[in-house]
Amino acid sequence: MKKDGMKNGRNESMRTAEIKGKTCDRESGVSNVIGVMMMLTIVIILAAMVSGFADGNMNVKTDLPSANLAVSAPYTDSGVVFIVENRGGDALSGRDCSIVTFIDDKQSTFMLSDLDCDKLAAGRKAFADTAKTQKLLGLTQSALNGFAETGKPMEVAIYHNPSNTLLYKSKIILGAKP
């Protein structure tokens, strides 16, 4: 059923072309090679991107500080005060360290710099007087004194925020001598 160059419903001139006297089939292999090359290119680009992201994340290094810290909240003549002492090790930036306290199911979070301490070097103390201690802990004066008189334990944790490292964690007794 061949009519005017039609074979199987297709135009014979669309299937073949004559190049320098030779007949070539236009449906042969060029598209397969290009398809495979495109897929390989995409895979190589994706592999390079994944490698770059993984390498970038692995090379992020923050110096981890090392400090021997002690925290106390002794009862003084003026009331309870809050003290953080660096007994040795690296100096800590007040803006880089957060202090989290738990007392009687009440959590409070503040920065080391809230203790008027820009840098806590080895052998130094950061100090909050009674009024500031009560404000930082979110307690009234009578509640703070009541906890100190009964020797209520307070959990304290100090974090180095840039490295997300826990530097200190302990339970201290409010009103106890350091």
Asked which of 17-26, 32-41, 151-160 is least confident by mean pLDDT, the reply is 17-26
79: Cα within 13 Å, side-chain hemisphere: 16
Sorted by where each begins, the domain ranges of the chain are: 6-58, 67-173
CATH number of 67-173: 2.60.40.10
pTM higher than 0.75, yes or no?
no
Helix axes 141-150, 130-137, angle to 10 degrees: 90
**Is 151 within 8 Å of 173 (Cβ atoms)?**
yes
Name the pLDDT band for 62 (thresholds 50, 70, 90): low
Q: What would the pLDDT profile of 78-105 be if each residue is shown by its tens digit?
A: 888 999 999 999 999 999 999 999 998 8
